Structure 1
Amino acid sequence: MTVIAGPGEAVVPRTAAGTTRATLRRNFWRGVWRVMRRKPSRMAGVAIIALFAVMGAFGPLLYPAHLPRDNGALYAPPSWAHPLGTDFEGTDVLALVITGARYVLLTGLATAVITVALGTAIGLFSGFRRGRWDTLLMRITDMNLAIPGLPLLLVLSTVWKFTSPLEMGLVLGLLGWGGVARAVRSQTLSLRERGFIEAARGLGLPTTHIIGRELLPGMAPYIAMNMLIAVTGAVYAQVGLFFLGVLPFDANNWGVMLNFAVFNGGALTTPAALPYLLAPLIAILLLTLGIVLLIDAMDEIFNPRLREE
């Protein structure tokens, strides 16, 4: 299908642009598949992330709202009935890990989205516009970076119960966007002087087009990596707060398990309680490992020099 041109105008196929974009997409995903197959560890990282995603989405549906307790099997060792043993109340530890994953993962995802969205928007706008807007936004960013996160969370926990993972993610995201904004601003200042940006400005393209179509795609890999890193940071932050006992135990999650294992179950002094302590720690370790392996793959996917090696 072609565009009907006027006198003296060239006839341009309408489908040419669409065909080119489809070809670029196919080549991109083929390159992704080649990079993932090059190292089995990267496929393992994807499998780990997928496993936790399934646990968070569907895991709680496999168990009742209140997990059953077996008073005759307190601190039972791992078995076919209880692959990870039981806790000090006779509750299956594997069920606790699976049902506790949703709160942790939703908090991490919400934190990452808010952190990256705010940091990227402020960093792009500040670096591209410069001038007074840059000065104002960077002073706000410096204030955000100067806020002591843990003490503020401790104070907020006295008035805010954080029963929802989205509430926890909102607070962690609002406290954590400063570093991303600073880094994105630096990238923007570097890219805005490149020839293709100067050409876009010379053509009179609007600022939204230049930022959204020219600057943002070039920083997409960096932004995606920051999102994954923000997930791990949010997991550590919320688990630490629940472990310290400063947040109410209204929701089951890995931090609550660690708190009960150490302070209620005596896991540091009773060998029988070690599976209850190690289960959430191993879950956190595996989630972090999956994210690290995925970041390693993304570094090569978006770096042409590494792909050619």
Structure 2
Amino acid sequence: MTVTALPGAAGRSRRATLRRNFWRGVWRVLRRKPSRMAGVAICALFAVMGVAGPLLYPAHLPRDDDALYAPPSLSHPFGTDFEGTDVLALVVTGSRYVLLTGLATAVITVALGTAVGLFAGFRRGWQDTLLMRLTDLNLAIPGLPLLLVLSTVWKFESPLEMGLVLGLLGWGGIARAVRSQTLSLRERGFIEAARGLGLPTTHIIGRELLPSMAPYIAMNMLIAVTGAVYAQVGLFFLGVLPFEANNWGVMLNLAVFSGGALTTPAALPYLLAPLLAILLLTLGIVLVVDAMDEIFNPRLREE
């Protein structure tokens, strides 16, 4: 019993040590540049805003008919809109739909793209050909016309519904990239050794190939979040989707087409607030991706 337990205990201790060393390395990389810490803080702020922000406000935000387009003040940091509603409250309550859609899109896009790319690149043969033809078909689907058609029968009230559609439309590019990475890695020595030991395909893909591409997949997931934010905000701004939920795209649409933000200086805060939120979110993700590039790249860490 003792002889059997020692290797297990030693393995657990080694894994715990590796985890501690990894997080220490992450902390060192983040501290090296203040901008990276700022990126983490920005992403954390938006995460808190999306989770807890809507809980701080009532379901129906109060309106003040005597304060239409009120200028920024202590009570209204970004002023009010054309209905007398606090603009900051609109930004905070609208963040949940935007962030949940971005997260759902990123998860679906990365999960599908990674699975297809890994399997196609590793198996080769007719499976590779079939999956790549499906990928080409996905890349050829015109997203905007399809969403125009779907919007006539689907209101996209839930961010998960929007994330599902955007994710199903956007996995082709990641599948192509992951397949290329897999074709390169499958000829490496450690993969040949795993094959020689007779390990099953699921083990080789899940334990050998996938960890090697985890940094690339993680960065693509963050980038997919920004792409989903732009896509959904753009669709709501253009009026393609019905305004069933408050979000930043709806704010931009109402500010430009209903609130006269392009002609009335008093309406500019209502237009600039969601734009600033999108800019800050994108900046935070870009700074985190920069940190991840160094965290997972030994050459950059040595520099």
TM value normalised by structure 2: 0.97
- Distance in 1, matches of 2:5 and 2:214, equals 37
CA deviation profile, 1:239-258 (whole Å, cap 9, x unmatched) = 00100111111100000000
Tell me the residue number matched to 2:5. 5
**TM-superposition CA deviations, 1:122-167 (whole Å, max 9, x none):** 0000000000000000000000001111111111111111010000
Q: Which residue of 2 aligns with 1:254?
A: 248
Q: What is the CA distance between 1:56 and its match in structure 2? A: 0.4
Deviation of 1:6 (Å) = 15
Deviates more, 1:147-156 or 1:172-181: 147-156
Distance 1:151 1:228 in 2: 26
User: Compared with structure 1, are the counterparts of its residues 75 and 303 closer, same or farther at alpha carbon in structure 2 (3 Å cutoff)?
Assistant: same
Structure 1 residue 2, shift from structure 2 partner: 3.5
Cα distance 1:32–1:98, how it changes in 2: closer, same or farther (>3 A)? same
Change (3 A) 1:159 1:7: closer
In 1: Cα distance, 2:241 partner to 2:188 partner: 49
Name the CA shift for 1:69/1:5 in 2 (closer, same or farther; >3 Å).
closer
Deviation at residue 287 of structure 1 after TM alignment: 0.3
Residues 128 and 71 of structure 1: is their aligned pair in 2 closer, same or farther, counting only changes over 3 Å? same
Q: C-alpha deviations, 1:199-231, integer Å up to 9, x for none?
A: 000000111110001000000000001100110
| 1:4 shift after superposition | 5.0
Query: Aligned pair in 2 of structure 1 residues 7, 94: CA closer, same or farther (>3 Å)?
Result: closer
Q: Flag the 1:86–1:7 CA change in 2: closer, same or farther, 3 A.
A: closer
Distance 2:5 2:42 in 1: 54
* Cα deviation 1:35-69 (Å, max 9, x = unaligned): 00000000000000000000000101000000000
The verdict on how the C-alpha distance between 1:304 and 1:5 changes in structure 2, with shifts beyond 3 A counting, is closer
CA change 1:195–1:82 in 2 (3 A) is same
Q: Secondary structure at the match of 1:91?
A: coil
CA shift in 2, pair 1:4/1:56, >3 Å: closer
| CA-to-aligned-CA distance 1:98-117 (integer Å, 9 cap, x gap) | 00000000000000000000
Residues matched between the structures, number: 302
Cα distance in structure 2, aligned partners of 1:74 and 1:129? 63
Flag the 1:195–1:255 CA change in 2: closer, same or farther, 3 A: same
SS of 1:89's equivalent in the other structure is coil
Per the alignment, residue 179 of structure 1 pairs with 173
1:82 is paired with a residue whose SS is: coil
Residue-by-residue CA offset, 1:262-299 (whole Å, 9 max, x unaligned):
01100000000000000000000000000000000000
Identity %: 90
State how far apart, in whole Å, the 2-side matches of 1:131 and 1:284 are. 43
Unaligned runs of 5+ in 2: none
Deviates more, 1:149-158 or 1:75-84: 149-158
Distance in 2, Cα, partners of 1:92 & 1:254: 14
SS at match of 2:47: helix
Instruction: Give the superposed CA RMSD.
Output: 2.0
CA deviations 1:71-91 (Å, max 9, x no partner) are: 000000000110110000000
- 1:7 shift after superposition: 17
Residue number in structure 2 paired with 1:273? 267
Closer, same or farther: CA 7–150 of 1 in aligned 2, 3 Å: closer
The separation in 2 between residues aligned to 1:204 and 1:4, in whole angstroms, is 24
Residue 5 of structure 1, CA deviation? 11
Q: Does 1:69 align with 2:63?
A: yes
Q: What pairs up with 1:49-198 in 2 under 5 angstroms? A: 49-198=43-192
- Alpha-carbon distance change, 70 to 220 in structure 1, aligned in 2, over 3 angstroms: same
Distance 1:22 1:82, change over 3 A: same
Cα 1:183/1:76, change in 2 over 3 Å: same
Secondary structure class of the residue paired with 1:3: helix
How has the CA–CA distance of structure 1 residues 81 and 133 changed in structure 2, closer, same or farther, with 3 Å as cutoff? same
Distance verdict in 2 for CA 1:17–1:183, change over 3 Å:
farther
C-alpha separation between the residues in 2 aligned to 1:173 and 1:33?
A: 32
Which runs of 4 or more aligned residues in structure 1 lie more than 3 Å from their structure 2 counterparts after TM superposition?
A: 4-8
- Name the structure where helix makes up a greater proportion of residues: 2
